[in-house]
A and B are shown apart, each in its own frame.
Chain A
Amino acid sequence: MMKKITKAKLKHILLGKNINEGLLGKTAIYLLLFIVGFVYLYPMIKMFTYSMKDLSDLVNPTVQWIPTKLYFENYRTSWIVLNYGKTLLFSLSVTLIPALLQTITTSLTGYALAKFKFRGKAILFGLILMTYLVPQQVYMIPRFVLFDKLGILESAWAIIFPATFGQGLSSAIFILIFYQFFRMQPKSLDESAEIDGANNYQIFMQIGVPLAAPAYLTAFLFSFVWYWNETYISSLFIGSELYTLQLKLLNFSSQFNLADGLSQQAVNEAIKYSATILIILPVLIVYIIMQKWFVEGIDRTGITGE
């Protein structure tokens, strides 16, 4: 009798009523999450420790993870190669400005689709989805010719212009996010404002935008990050004279040879790793501060549909 009770109790403790209640299930979940999480962090950790190694540590097979001393020379070198200060400014100008403008334009578009009835809305939705599904490579070449004619190739404008008109990176996704978000706002608010004599633009500015603040933040953050990580368009449109940080990393070895005062040094993986760290640092800082908004943003903006 006694034995049976303890057995049942033991079973209850170990397995629980539900998968996540028992000790066994819990341990398994934590273990799995920890292992997979480590797989995610592993390249980051490896990158970070390698970036601190000097030459003797690099060739020394006994030094695996922890460098023998703190060595920041790699960072100094890649700072020079990347021309960090100046390149960072340029990178920000083709990241922050398009992200901001794209957020504004896509919010206007999403608002129109969510709040007004008009003919051809279904077609419009189709066209917006199309801009997402057709790979940019299809219309990139005529865009290139167009920008060449306009004389805005090899300047930040080639990135800023399409973003301003809602044709930037993943614009369609942002339109859909705003559409979902504005649609969830109660209609009665708009109606009462209308009775009070506000016109549509006042309603948008004074009710729509403030209530949609989370959607704006999420869209802006994602837009910022995606523009930061983008290299295909920027290498095509601004590639040969100006460089973003990412483009410098893409051509790191040749950039290294061009840099002044490093002629007697050879590029090694530690230097490359330190450059990679320097390049992900700005988004990493933004992410650490705004982490909650990234991770919960998708849920909040209702992109998953109701």
Chain B
Amino acid sequence: MSVKPMNRKKRETLVAWSFLSLWAIGFLVFTMIPIFTSLYYSMSNVVLDGEGIKVTFIWFDNYKQVFSSAEGFNFLKSVSDFAIEILFKVPIIIVFAIIIAVMLNQDIKGRGFIRAIYFLPVIIASGPVINQLIYQGAATIPIIEEMGILGFINSTFTETLARPISNIFSELIVILWFSGVQILLFIAALQKIDKHTYEAAMIDGAGPWESFWKITIPALKSMVLVSVVFTIINLATFSENAAILHIKNNMFALETGFGFSSAIAWLYFIALALILGIFFLVFGAFNRERGRR
């Protein structure tokens, strides 16, 4: 079988696309076309009745409605709540995951068993199950309420800030429940550190504290960004998130419907992109700062 180089290149492309074809078809039919349709819907009045679908183009009226109606206001409030919550939740989850990962990476007995416990929430955390836990009060540590932390928060902060922050405390366990995958990512990164690096540092007189900040933390840096993105997307698409419930509920609401719903879905995406962007900027600045030193 002698194949000329040119032929081989063409053939390789062909073979590659034969492997990719299923995904490519799916991407076009189930993702790409729907994305553009959704953009069109968001600027339309969409009515779905027995005969089919009626779409009338109305420019930005849906978006205007978001900023002028009660329903739109509720949606915006849930998005801003989510944004504030995430600013607190992401650092909590990341720092917590790093601490646990560092501890689990030590030479301790029963590591497999402990890891299994820490990963358990990933397996069972579905919307209804977590709802059940929050509703029944199994998601909070009783001490927090007994110490009056919630009362303190409500009396010190303004209403906009107090609500998201007290949410964080009353769902503290659930927040930690969202850190299973991140812990594993950090453990994987930790295991890639050469043990000799620590020994060399020790010989040079570095204590555990210096080793931690100068060797361990830099090794985790690349994984922090991955974890931040994962955490944000994971929290943002969690099925009991108030903002995405708005999107679903408005689909079948009489006075709003598919058009309005598409519009708020796009606004939600923009908000999400902004949040991700802010984290990227902060993280990038932090990296440059460290690089300079």
A284 and B124 within 8 A (CB): yes
Q: Scoring A residues 215 to 253 as 1 if CB is less than 8 Å from chain B, else 0, what string do you get?
A: 000000000010011111001100000000011011000
Q: Are A119 and B13 in contact (CB under 8 A)?
A: yes
Q: Output the least CB separation between A305 and chain B (Å).
A: 7
Asked if residues A39 and B176 are in contact (CB atoms below 8 Å), the reply is yes
Judge whether B19 is part of the interface by a CB distance below 8 angstroms.
yes
With a cutoff of 8 Å between Cβ atoms, the chain A residues found around residue B153 in the complex are none
Task: Mark the stretch among A66-74, A258-266, A271-279 that contacts chain B.
Answer: A271-279
CA of A64 to CA of B107, assembled, Å: 37
- What residue in chain B is nearest A299 (Cβ atoms)? B188
Per the 8 Å Cβ criterion, residues 1-31 of B in contact with A are 1, 9, 12-13, 15-17, 19-20, 22-23, 25-27, 29-31
Which chain A residues border B268 with CB–CB below 8 Å? 135, 137-138
Contacts of A287 in B (CB 8 A): 120, 123
Q: Is A98 an interface residue (CB 8 A)?
A: no
Q: Determine whether the beta carbon of A33 is less than 8 Å from that of B269.
A: no
Across the interface, B30 reaches (CB within 8 A) one of A106, A116, A162, A225, namely A162
How many whole Å from B5's CB to the nearest CB in chain A?
12
Task: Evaluate contact between B176 and A304: CB separation under 8 angstroms.
Answer: no
Q: Is there a chain A Cβ closer than 8 Å to B149's Cβ?
A: no
Given A33-B103, A249-B129, CB of A137 within 8 Å of CB of B17: no
Q: Count how many chain B residues have C-beta atoms less than 8 Å from C-beta atoms of the other chain.
A: 91
- Which among A29, A119, A166, A304 is the interface contact of B23 at CB below 8 angstroms? A166
Q: Let me know if B265 and A273 touch, CB within 8 A.
A: no
Q: Which residues of A contact B9 (CB under 8 A)?
A: 117
> Are the C-beta atoms of B123 and A166 separated by less than 8 Å?
no
B70 interfacial by beta-carbon distance below 8 Å: no
A44 contacts across to B, CB distance below 8 A? 120
CA distance A34 to B136 in the complex (A): 24
Say yes or no: B118 contacts A37, CB within 8 Å.
Answer: yes
> How many residues on chain A are close to B (CB under 8 Å)?
90
The answer for the CA separation of A117 and B16 in the assembled complex, in Å, is 8
B262 within 8 A of A: yes
> Does residue A63 face the partner (Cβ distance < 8 Å to B)?
no
The reply to whether the CB of B48 lies closer than 8 angstroms to some CB of chain A is yes
Chain B, range 171-226, C-beta contacts under 8 Å to A: 173, 176-177, 181, 184-185, 187-189, 191-192, 198, 202, 208, 212, 222-223, 226
Q: Chain B's interface: helix, strand, loop or mixed, by majority? A: helix
Interface-located stretch among B35-43, B87-95, B158-166, B283-291: B35-43
| Assembly CA distance A294 to B27 (angstroms) | 28
Q: Is the CB of A295 within 8 A of B119?
A: yes
Tell whether, in the assembled complex, residue A142 and residue B41 are in contact, meaning their CB atoms are under 8 Å apart: yes
* Also in contact, A134 and B269, with CB within 8 A (given A146-B34, A165-B22, A231-B127): yes
Contacting pair A139 B132 (CB below 8 A)? no
Chain B minimum-CB-distance residue to A39 = B173
> How many angstroms between the C-alpha atoms of A4 and B12 in the bound complex?
74
Q: Is B236 at the interface (CB under 8 A from chain A)?
A: yes
Query: In whole Å, how far is B81's beta carbon from the nearest beta carbon of chain A?
Result: 17
Q: How far is the CB of B288 from chain A (nearest CB, A)?
A: 22
**B16 (CB) vs chain A CBs: closest residue:** A116
Chain A's closest residue to B20 (CB) is A112
- With CB as the reference atom, state the residue of chain A lying closest to B111: A33
CB distance from A223 to the nearest CB of B (A): 13
B198 surroundings in chain A (CB, below 8 A): 18
Known: A43-B173, A284-B123. A37 touches B114 (CB 8 A): yes
Complex interface: stretch among A5-13, A125-133, A184-192: A125-133
Residues of B within 8 A of A294 (CB): 119, 122-123
Would B133 and A47 count as touching, CB distance under 8 A? Answer: yes
Q: Are B208 and A18 in contact (CB under 8 A)?
A: yes
Neighbouring A residues of B12 by C-beta, 8 Å: 116-118
9 nearest A-B residue pairs (beta carbon): A165-B26, A229-B126, A112-B19, A139-B34, A142-B34, A116-B16, A142-B37, A166-B23, A232-B239
18 contacting pairs across A/B (C-beta < 8 A):
A18-B198, A19-B106, A26-B108, A43-B139, A47-B132, A47-B138, A50-B136, A109-B23, A112-B16, A137-B248, A139-B31, A142-B34, A161-B30, A165-B30, A272-B132, A280-B123, A287-B123, A295-B115
Q: Footprint of A on B, CB under 8 Å?
A: 1, 9, 12-13, 15-17, 19-20, 22-23, 25-27, 29-31, 33-35, 37-38, 41, 48, 53, 100, 103-104, 106-108, 112, 114-129, 131-133, 136, 138-139, 141, 173, 176-177, 181, 184-185, 187-189, 191-192, 198, 202, 208, 212, 222-223, 226, 233, 236-237, 239, 244, 247-248, 251, 258, 261-262, 265-266, 268-269, 272-273, 276
